[in-house]
Amino acid sequence: MYPSKFLKQTLIAAASCLMLMSAQAADPVKVGFVYVGPVGDHGWTYRHDVGRQAIESEFGDQVETTFVESVPEGADAERVIRKLASSGHDLIFTTSFGYMNPTLKVAKDFPDVMFEHATGYKQSDNTATYSARFYEGRSVIGTMAGMMTKSNVVGYIGSIPIPEVVRGINAFTIAMRKVNPDATVKVIWVNSWYDPGKEADAAKALIDQGADIITQHTDSPAPLQVAQERGVQGFGQASDMAAFAPEAQLTSIVDNWNDYYVERTRAVIDGSWASQNVWLGIADGMVAFPEYGASVPDDVKAAADVIKEGIVDGSLHPFQGPLFNQAGEEVVAEGEVLDDKALLGMNYYVQGVLGDLPK
């Protein structure tokens, strides 16, 4: 009596296990992406989409990816995120800070779906946040700029005055003035992440005011094109822009989300996903660089490599004291570094930057 019942139960249990396992093996993991711009921007959104394609090529049939482009950050965002969550997606990436609250709202209602929010600061049990320490890249190119500028004026094309961009400007300026205390940074805000015409105009204005190196935190290759045409040099942003400026591009800060996206998808597949707040940089490959441009001298290359190594092994911090703000007051003492909280909310310029920020 007992043994046969026991056998029956074991068989049933074993069968259901097998079915479950095969069901899990059969059902692909669905990964959704919410983009704030078009994939064709060759910048921010484009690089996220490259990351999405990396997931597809890594996992093949095991995953199915979906993306929704140009989702405005207002009321539409919540609906799109919710639609993804309720249509069987297991992992959803929302790739703009303006999606922070909508993501959390939806995450509350879908506790079994995992969310990854880029550049935000609020987490929940099923919402992780991630961002890249782009400012580390700025330190590298700032060093290069400081060594290569002859006019001692560097032009910076900013998008919208938010802490992330200001952080980049400051990291750049600090590194630049370490090797060249006489250089200054002029900033123009185009008040848009993406407007090739305005970016080109800003680049021209900066060059006309004496900048011989330009850099940007906007998304299109237009400023580098202007640099190429005017015979000055500059740095690409988000992607490798050498195709547009073969002589002008010295190097570029490339957003590399591939490894992170693959890793997080793997975590969902094998069940080890947990909420976290990560801010990864050069050491983890999230901030990457293409080949140096042909016009970069060897000593500049060497100096840039030293900065990269220093950041990777922790001996160099982009915001190491003593640091002074625009008004000349000391904000970081000698030997101290700014912690992540202070970096996250940075809203002042350091010394060496010309311009004004809204209070």
Partner 1 sequence: MNETIILTLITIITAATPLVYASLGELVTERSGVLNLGVEGMMLTGAVCSFATVHYSGSATLGVLAGCLAGMALALLFAFLTLTLQSSQVATGLALTIFGVGLSALIGQSLVGIAFEGLPVLMPELARIPAIGKLLFGHDILVYGSFALVAATSWFLSRTRAGLVLRSVGDSHDAAHALGYHVIRVRYLATLFGGACAGLAGAYLSMAYTPMWVENMSAGRGWIALALVVFAVWQPGRLLLGAYLFGGISILQLHGQALGFQVPSQLMSMLPYLTTILVLVLISRDGGRIRRNAPASIGKAFHPTT
Partner 2 sequence: MITLHRRASPSRTMGWFAPVIALGLTLLAGLILFAVLGVPLLKAFQAFFIDPVSTRYGLAELGVKAAPLIMIGVALSIGFRAQVWNIGAEGQLILGGICGAAVGLYFYEVDAWYVLPLMMLAGVLGGMLWAAIPALLRTRFNVNEILTSLMLTYVAALLLSYLVAGPLRDPDGYNFPESRLLHDAALLPRILDGTRLHLGAAIALGIVVAAWVLLSRTLLGFALRVNGAAPRAGTHAGFNQNRLIWFVLLAGGGVAGLAGLFEVAGPIGQLLTTISPGYGFTAIIVAFLGRLHPVGVFFAGLIMALSYLGGETAQIDLNLPLAVTGVFQGMLLFFLLATDVLINYRVRWGRR
* Non-local CB neighbours of 1 within 8 Å, separated by 6+ positions: none
In whole angstroms, how close is the CB of 347 to partner 2 at the nearest point? Answer: 4
d(CA 270, CA 80): 27
In whole angstroms, how close is the CB of 199 to partner 1 at the nearest point? Answer: 8
Among partner 2, partner 1, none, residue 195 binds (CB under 5-8 Å by kind): partner 1
Nearer to partner 2, 39 or 50 (CB): 39
Binding residue for partner 2, selected from 56, 151, 161, 283, defined by CB under 8 A: 161
Among partner 2, partner 1, none, residue 75 binds (CB under 5-8 Å by kind): partner 2
Cβ(265)–Cβ(29) under 8 Å?
Answer: yes
Pull the structure tokens for residue 329. 């007051």
Beta strands in 139-239 (DSSP E): 153-158, 184-189, 213-216, 233-238
| Of residues 227-286, those binding partner 2 (CB under 8 A) | none
Binding residue for partner 2, selected from 50, 62, 110, 162, defined by CB under 8 A: 162
* Non-local CB neighbours of 30 within 8 Å, separated by 6+ positions: 63, 64, 65, 66, 87, 88, 89, 90, 91
Cβ(285)–Cβ(256) under 8 Å?
Answer: yes
| Of residues 182-211, those binding partner 2 (CB under 8 A) | 191
198 binds partner 1 (CB under 8 A): yes
80 binds partner 2 (CB under 8 A): yes
Alpha-carbon 110 to chain mean position: 26
Write down the H helix ranges in 283-332.
298-312
Dihedral of the CA atoms 264, 90, 67, 238 (nearest 10)? Answer: -20
In whole angstroms, how close is the CB of 86 to partner 2 at the nearest point? Answer: 8
Among partner 1, partner 2, none, residue 150 binds (CB under 5-8 Å by kind): none
Phi-psi region of 161 (alpha: psi -120 to 50; beta: other; left: phi over 0): beta
d(CA 186, CA 19): 64
| Of residues 144-163, those binding partner 1 (CB under 8 A) | 155, 158, 161
Pull the structure tokens for residue 210. 């004496």
Among partner 2, partner 1, none, residue 76 binds (CB under 5-8 Å by kind): partner 2
Nearer to partner 1, 220 or 351 (CB): 220
79 binds partner 2 (CB under 8 A): yes
87 binds partner 2 (CB under 8 A): yes
The span from the first CA to the last CA of the chain, in angstroms, equals: 81
345 binds partner 2 (CB under 8 A): yes
In whole angstroms, how close is the CB of 140 to partner 1 at the nearest point? Answer: 24
Nearer to partner 2, 38 or 290 (CB): 38
d(CA 87, CA 108): 16
Task: Mark the segment that binds partner 2 (CB under 8 A) among 13-21, 66-74, 180-188, 235-243.
Answer: 66-74
In whole angstroms, how close is the CB of 72 to partner 2 at the nearest point? Answer: 4
Cβ(281)–Cβ(314) under 8 Å?
Answer: no
Q: Kind of pairing, strands 91-94 and 29-34?
A: parallel
Cα 279–Cα 134–Cα 305 angle in degrees, nearest 5 = 110
In whole angstroms, how close is the CB of 204 to partner 1 at the nearest point? Answer: 4
160 binds partner 2 (CB under 8 A): yes
Binding residue for partner 1, selected from 68, 147, 162, 205, defined by CB under 8 A: 205
Task: Mark the segment that binds partner 2 (CB under 8 A) among 69-77, 128-136, 225-233, 298-306.
Answer: 69-77
32 binds partner 2 (CB under 8 A): yes
d(CA 331, CA 325): 6
DSSP state of 41: G
Question: Which residues here bind partner 1, judged by CB under 8 A?
Answer: 38, 40-42, 46, 155, 158, 161, 186-192, 194-202, 204-209, 220-222, 225, 229, 243-244, 354-358
